[in-house]
Every structure is written in structure tokens, then in C-alpha cells.
């Protein structure tokens, strides 16, 4: 149960960082269920060892982000501040120097207008490995709107909830909870039986410690991390690169078969036909080491 708290501070941000572009990206779906965003800021339930805290995030007048803890399940102190800043740093990819990306984008006719339009937008991530894998699995071969619908059902059915001032805030389901399910409990949500099996199998790997974010981060190369992921039932190259990009933060991760990426390139080029994979590889020749950011900015151009 959340108890009212009052703990506020200003968090510095890297240059460039755009709160407006971050908020615009986070507002892309009305079915988002893991945070609330309006003109006053972002409301996010953040988990920590001592219990969850409800944080309010907005731009500070003097620069940076104004953070306020509204309520918490447990004590609020300097360790809370550190936990929240660590989460936001990872969520908003604040440790990445965007200078090299903007440098190459300035010389790339496809990326240049996007880099100028969305300057300060960072690769909004999914810090939790299980959440990233589930989002990748749920989104396979369906449109984004229905993927959000499935995620909302999944979170509201199996995740934990906290209520503050008559609004519900939720945490993503724990892998231990999903690992113990019968697939029929997921198919009732209109998740296909195959995806239900994939979700449960992935949850079991994480719950028993066979699959960890730390192990994937310690892989000697992007290829080895991708190989480890595609060895999991239900994880193909697209899902693996999505997770490598959004959770593990490999800058060269490249979900080249992504339909959204193809649509974004088609729209940016003003062509009638979607590009082939070979054509995308040719276009991406100058993106080396920054394929993930190029993809993210192209995705952003669709909304």
C-alpha cells in the first residue's frame, strides 16, 4: 500500500536531452499501462528493494528534471533518490553520448531531417529483461495497437497494482508468476497458444536463473548475445535485436526485418514500395555502430 511522501530534487540531464520529445514518444499509445503522462508530467511506479515508489517527473525551470516522490511503499531517503535516478538514466539512455550519432546523421540524407526534428530524443528503453522479452514476443506479427492491447491485458491480469488518488499504477508481472501459469490463462486474453508457451518458457528461464541480463551484458560480442537469445524458443532475430536495442543497449543492434522500420524508410524516401532488406543494408552502410539509434529515429517518424 502506498503512503504519501514528500521528497523532491532536480536531476541533471545530458546535453542534448529533450523532455518534450521524450514525452511525445511516451504518449504514442492511449493503451499504455505502465505509466501515466499528461501536461503536468510523467507518473511512474518504480520498483526498488524496499518497495515501490510513485515518482512524478517533469522538466525543471532551471534545467534538468524535477523529480518528486508522491507516495511510497516503505521509507524514502537518499537511497530512493539513487534508485529512481538509476532507473531514469537507463530508461532514457542518459549515459550515451549522442555526438557521434548526430555527426553521422548530418551526413546521411535519410537521417539528417529526423535528427534535426527529434534532436534530444534518446532511445527510450525497457530496463527489465523480462518485460523487454515479453513485449517483443507479444508484438510478433501483429500491429502496434493490438500489441499494446495485449500488453495492457497481460499487465492488468498478472501484474501488481497500487492506487494513488483514485488512479491505478502498475508494475510489470514477475517472471515467477508467469512461469507458474497454464497457457490457457494467457489464451483467455487473446494471446495465441504459441505465444503463451513462449511467454511461460521465457519466464521459467528467468525465474530459475538460466537467463539473466547480467550474463547477456557480459557476452563478448553482439553476435554472441544475439545467438544466446535466438536459442530461446520463440525468440527469433527480430525479437533478439529488439531486446538488444531496447534493453541491453547494444548500439549496433539492428532489427532489419521490422515492418515499422520498412514503413518508416518508405515514408522518408517517398517511394511507393517498401525497401528490400538488401536496399536497407545499402542505406545503412553509414550507420555502423549506430544502427539502433537510426532505427529508433525512423520508428519515431511514424508517430
pLDDT in tens, 190-247: 999 999 999 999 999 999 999 999 999 999 999 999 999 999 999 999 999 999 999 9
pLDDT at 169: 96
Higher pLDDT, 78 or 170: 170
Respond yes or no: is residue 258 known to be catalytic: yes
Closest CA to 135 of 29, 289, 221, 23: 29
Closest CA to 162 of 280, 55, 54, 298: 54
With a CB cutoff of 8 Å and minimum separation 6, the contacts of 213 are 129, 247, 248
With a CB cutoff of 8 Å and minimum separation 6, the contacts of 9 are 67, 81
164: β partners: 167
* Mean pLDDT calculated for residue range 278-303: 96
Query: Are 179 and 277 a contacting pair, CB within 8 Å?
Result: no
pLDDT beyond 70 at 1: no
Kindly state the helix (H) or strand (E) to which residue 163 belongs, with its residue range: strand 161-164
pLDDT at 125: 96
pLDDT at 293: 98
What is the band of 123 on the pLDDT scale with cuts at 50, 70, 90?
very high
- How far is 88 from 140, CA to CA, in rounded Å? 27
pLDDT at 251: 96
* Mean pLDDT calculated for residue range 63-82: 91
pLDDT in tens, 23-64: 999 999 999 999 999 999 999 999 987 789 999 999 999 999
* Mean pLDDT calculated for residue range 261-277: 94
pTM of the model: 0.94
Query: Active-site residue among 15, 182, 258, 272?
Result: 258
246: β partners: none
Amino acid at each position: 500500500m502506498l503512503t504519501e511522501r514528500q521528497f523532491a530534487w532536480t536531476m541533471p540531464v545530458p546535453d542534448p536531452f529533450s523532455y518534450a520529445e521524450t514525452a511525445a514518444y511516451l504518449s504514442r499509445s492511449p493503451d499504455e499501462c505502465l505509466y501515466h503522462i499528461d501536461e503536468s508530467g510523467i507518473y511512474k511506479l518504480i520498483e526498488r528493494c524496499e518497495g515501490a515508489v510513485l515518482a512524478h517527473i517533469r522538466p525543471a525551470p532551471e534545467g534538468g528534471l524535477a523529480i518528486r516522490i508522491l507516495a511510497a511503499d516503505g521509507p524514502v531517503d537518499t537511497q530512493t533518490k539513487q534508485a529512481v535516478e538509476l532507473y531514469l538514466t537507463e530508461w532514457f539512455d542518459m549515459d550515451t553520448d549522442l555526438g557521434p550519432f548526430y555527426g553521422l546523421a548530418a551526413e546521411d540524407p535519410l537521417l539528417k531531417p529526423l535528427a534535426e526534428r527529434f534532436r534530444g530524443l534518446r532511445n527510450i528503453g525497457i530496463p527489465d529483461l523480462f518485460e523487454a522479452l515479453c513485449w517483443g514476443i507479444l508484438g510478433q506479427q501483429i500491429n502496434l495497437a493490438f500489441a499494446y492491447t495485449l500488453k495492457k491485458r497481460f499487465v492488468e491480469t498478472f501484474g501488481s497494482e497500487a492506487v494513488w488518488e483514485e488512479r491505478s499504477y502498475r508494475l510489470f508481472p514477475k517472471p515467477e508468476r508467469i512461469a507458474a501459469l497454464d497457457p490457457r490463462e494467457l489464451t483467455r486474453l487473446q494471446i495465441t497458444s504459441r505465444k503463451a508457451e513462449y511467454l511461460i518458457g521465457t519466464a521459467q528461464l528467468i525465474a530459475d536463473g538460466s537467463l539473466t541480463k547480467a550474463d547477456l551484458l557480459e557476452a563478448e560480442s553482439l553476435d554472441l548475445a544475439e545467438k544466446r537469445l535466438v536459442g530461446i524458443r520463440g525468440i527469433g532475430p527480430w525479437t533478439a535485436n529488439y531486446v538488444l536495442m531496447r534493453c541491453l543497449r547494444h548500439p549496433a543492434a539492428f532489427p532489419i526485418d521490422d515492418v515499422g522500420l520498412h514503413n518508416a524508410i518508405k515514408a522518408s524516401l517517398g517511394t511507393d514500395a517498401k525497401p528490400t532488406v538488401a536496399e536497407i543494408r545499402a542505406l545503412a552502410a553509414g550507420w555502423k555502430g549506430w544502427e539502433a539509434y537510426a532505427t529508433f529515429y525512423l520508428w519515431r517518424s511514424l508517430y
